[in-house]
Amino acid sequence: MTQGCECSFSVEGEKFAEAGKVSVEIKKMLKKIGIPDDVRRRAAIATYESEVNIISYAIEGTVKLQVTRDRILIDIRDTGPGISNIEQAMEQGYSTANDRIREMGFGAGMGLFNIKNCSDTFEISSEEGKGTHLKILINR
């Protein structure tokens, strides 16, 4: 199948109960256009982690999904405090999560590390006081 699609979702900060809604939706959409299970799974995991990051740390954000003939692009932008030390944030186990985040079962410091693991190409940029931008590319 060579079907593609393009869509965008917004995610609000602090809305912990909503965490994962976008990822579940994206996983369903990818199934409809015939993306293989293991690829859908990686895309959904990367999206879930990103969603939780927006909800945990940012004011708001958008998740854009673009599927073309040979790859899946998940582009995530948020407005929020940004990340001061990206290298440190990428480390396994490094976390700045508060108790509320941890009570929900998150904040283990695995997020960005796991996103990178699920991606074929991963780019991150951030500006302190403005926000963070993630570009996740997964081959179909």
Partner 1 sequence: MTLREIADLLDARILVGGDHLDIEVKTAFSADLMSDVLAFAKPGSIMITGLTNPQIVRIASIVDNSAILVVRGKIPPEETLTLAEELDIPVLSTRYILFETSGRLYANGIVGCVRKIEGPESVIPL
Residues that bind partner 1 (CB under 8 A): 17, 19-21, 23-24, 27, 37-38, 41, 44-45, 48-49, 52, 91-95, 104-111, 113-114, 117
3-state DSSP assignment of residue 58: coil
Contacts of 84 (CB under 8 A, 6+ apart): 128
- Shortest reach from residue 140's CB to partner 1, in Å: 18
Residue whose CB is less far from partner 1, 2 or 98: 98
Q: What are phi and psi of 100, to 5 degrees?
A: -65, -45
Residue whose CB is less far from partner 1, 16 or 124: 16
As given in the structure block, the two tokens for residue 114 are 């796991």
Contacts of 91 (CB under 8 A, 6+ apart): 109, 113
Residue whose CB is less far from partner 1, 42 or 140: 42
- Shortest reach from residue 32's CB to partner 1, in Å: 15
